[in-house]
Amino acid sequence: MDTLSALATFVSANAIWIGLILLYPVWVRLGAILRLFIMDWLKPQHKIIIRHVHNGTVLRSVEIDLDNDEPLVRQLRAIKEKQ
């Protein structure tokens, strides 16, 4: 009974540290999400790449520029006419 009591005392005294260690995967994923938000804020993406994949192989890749003054519909129609 003395060993069980010592173990319970150790766990209750160090519950915060044990919890932080067990939550390590959560902290890593939250850090990755935070990094994505910060990078999107600092360096926003202005181009969209659409890859057409069939049976695991890339058939073609299309790039759409969001900074362009031309509307997206016209860009997509121009891409469609090129093919």
Which residue stretches of 1-83 are H helix?
A: 2-13, 15-22, 24-42, 72-82
pLDDT score of 1 more than 70: no
Task: Between 22 and 65, name the one with better pLDDT.
Answer: 22
Query: Using CA atoms, how far apart are residues 64 and 74, in angstroms rounded to an integer?
Result: 11
CB neighbourhood size of 76 (10 A): 13
The pLDDT tens digits of the residues spanning 15-64 come to 999 999 999 999 999 999 999 999 988 888 788 888 888 888 888 888 88
